[in-house]
Amino acid sequence: MDLMDLMDLIMDVERARVVVGRRGSAGSRGLVALAGTALAAGAVVLAGLGGCKAGGVGGIKSDGGAVSADGGRFEGGGAAGLPEQIAAARDRVFPALVNIRATTVQYWGGKDIKSGSNGSGTIITPEGHIVTNHHVVADGVKFKVTLADKTEVEADLVGQDPLTDLAVLKIRTAEIPAGTKLATASWGDSDKLEVGETVIAMGSPFSLSRSVTVGVISNTERVFYNTWTEDRELEPDEIGGETTGIFTRWLQHDALINPGNSGGPLVNVRGQIVGINTRGGSGMGFASPASLARDVAQRLIAGGEVVRSSIGLALKPVEGTGIEKGVLVNSVTDNPMGPAAKAGLKPGDVVMAIDGVALTVRFVEQIPPLLRDIADRPVGTAVKVDYERGGEARSAQVVTERLLRDRGEETNLRAWGVSVMQITERMARERRLMVASTRPAGQSGLGVVITGVRGGSPAALAEPPLQGGDVLMSVEGESFWTVKALLERYRAIMMPAAGGQAAAAAIPETLLVRFDRNGKDNVTIVKPRPTPKQDPTPELPKAWVGAAVQPVLRDLAKSLGIEGTTGFRVTRVYPRTLAADSELRVGDIITSVNGEKLAPRTLQDAGMFARRVRQMKIDDAVTMGVLREGKPAEVRLSLERTRLGPDEARKDDNRDFELTVREVTFFDRDDENWGDSVQGVLVEGAEPAGWAGQGGLGRGDLVQTIDGRAVTDIVSYRAAMEDVSKRQPARVVFQVLRGINTSFKFVEPEWKPSVVGN
């Protein structure tokens, strides 16, 4: 489209706007939105041509008065097109828009697995409360938000609600300069939104700086179900093992949504939050309506959680079932029995009325409001349910119970090498655990299940070993039914001294652990006491020639022009050795030692030369027959003692940091061309999900300082790590040499096991 075509389009649209402005009818809203969208597109193109400012579109004004997206006029009677409305809405919300970065921890395989997530949010109270998505902050242990002026501050989790995928953070206002007033955004009325109305999505896509995209409302009551069949049944989403969306009729729109937009506001042209953007793709975005998000946010701010009621059944619309009225009971909660099952309701019953209010649910879009109506009643409310079974009218009093989360609290018992999770009712049903018959009276918890075991840990080496899926029942005869109770027991055993790590001698040598595996009551012995570090016993010193060699076999000898002669070619003469002081040279082919011929036939004979030398004594003088440039010669030298190699070097395996290091050997210095001034210990391994691995340490790094303390060998390394263990700082700084450059790695240990998912 060239400039003239664009101007023609704008004039056509302008005429439509004038007509609509004069008519002012409700039926003109879609046309107004269309006109405004075209003008917005024109503004973008003109901006690209260098001819558009925020104040207007090409200087064109409507003599019919400015028309808003909902068919009304702007106050003041001045002309204002859609670009101006968008700019004004942006200016109202942008100061309250924040970027959120969460540090997350997941417990799996007996390890703490750290990662991160990014999202968006909006400040909604002067006290610094931020509304965002649950999936942005899920499993989070630390939160940082970037304000509009690029100030970065920490925030705390106030509460989260997986069922609606909403959450609230609160800025640590103490970190903001005194007297600073936080900008806030206001809520709009999502119930008044209409299809075709212009909306604006704001956020930080891909964790970049703030952005705006514009679209229109496509649907105001979108729900998800399988569209490929005639079975119209609500299909809630699942995020991280948590059901979500059962109470939500989504606002569908076509404003572009990308990763990082999650939790950001969907805004109307008056600059009000009408939704919280939650997901998007294929040109479609979905937002939780403000009518739901505002209520959830207020409840989270007030109590840190959203307490809901449940009657323990799933409902299905009657459309396509042959049933004319009511709503079909699709299933009831059992094991443990839910409220509906206790009251006698069964799958196949048809609910006709709730508390005397007749209902007919024909379409799946009617399910979320009904479920929300039930859920919003106080826990313990007696609900009268009129229903039919086989054509017979019946009635039941159903007493609501608290609606529980699908996913239980989690933690990692690091010293034992197990990650565990609280068993929820959903897990109990899926695993078919008979918790009701085994749980003590008055105990609300359903038990603790192992989600993973770290290889080589006390749990993995138990007799018999523990494994994922085992249900822990007791430790040393003390039962527990919750993760928090188990964590208290763990701390009492492993950390008896308040605030510090227990001395190894104070930790029991063995623990009797009782657990259930596939319905079988088992016991095992776990040995939690750390084993003393033992360095490998070095081999007795042997005779050695300070050179590296490779076997010269028949084919290689032919290529080297010495057909019929085999031996060992010198590939390296190590500096600062007796061999370096001799006449031995790289390229020499050693054919004999003290007159004894060396004749390797296969690669399996690669160690023949070293074995022959080791049979002799240190300081022995030897004569080696060599071929040098095809001519025979003799080299005399004295043997010296072997140098330690990587396999014989002293090592340290730190279970807390999941970091293995070893001493620097003679051969490391030669390989890396390090002089004697280069000191430290070499990283042999860092578990990627461990503390050190998450902090960026990797194989081949040379650790030179720890929290400023010099590391010169394995002894000084152990002393530095022991000091770290005693101090238990929030951050440990490793200075390493990686290649030719130094680098600082910041490791953030989780010294004391914590619980996530609450």
Residues 6+ apart with CB under 8 A from 223: 234, 248, 249, 250, 364, 365, 367, 368
Contact 300, 158 (CB under 8 A): yes
If phi over 0 gives left and psi between -120 and 50 gives alpha, with beta otherwise, what is residue 391? left
681, with CB counted inside 10 A (0-12, 13-18, 19+), is: buried
Q: What angle do CA 15, 21, 27 make, to 5 degrees?
A: 105
Q: Which of 408, 394, 405, 407 is nearest to 340 (CA)?
A: 394
Please report, in angstroms and rounded to a whole number, the separation of the first and last CA atoms in the chain. 55
Secondary structure (3-state) at 747: strand
Please give the distance of CA 720 from its chain centroid, rounded to a whole number. 31
The verdict on whether 165 is a catalytic residue reads yes
Q: Which of 120, 190, 262, 310 is catalytic?
A: 262
- Distance between CA atoms of 568 and 587, rounded to whole angstroms? 9
The beta strands (E) that lie in 559-697 are given as 567-573, 589-593, 596-597, 621-628, 631-638, 640-641, 651-654, 659-663, 681-686
3-state DSSP helix/strand/coil percent for the chain, to nearest 5?
25, 35, 45
Please give the distance of CA 424 from its chain centroid, rounded to a whole number. 22
Q: Token digits for 480? A: 């527990």
Per DSSP, what are the bridge partners of residue 54? none
DSSP 549: E
Q: Which of 135, 161, 470, 582 is catalytic?
A: 135
- The count of other CB atoms within 10 Å of the CB of residue 739 is 10
Q: What is the bridge-based pairing of β-strands 350-354 and 327-332?
A: antiparallel
The verdict on whether 134 is a catalytic residue reads no
DSSP 255: S
Q: Which of 112, 139, 161, 165 is catalytic?
A: 165
What is the set of active-site residues? Answer: 135, 165, 262
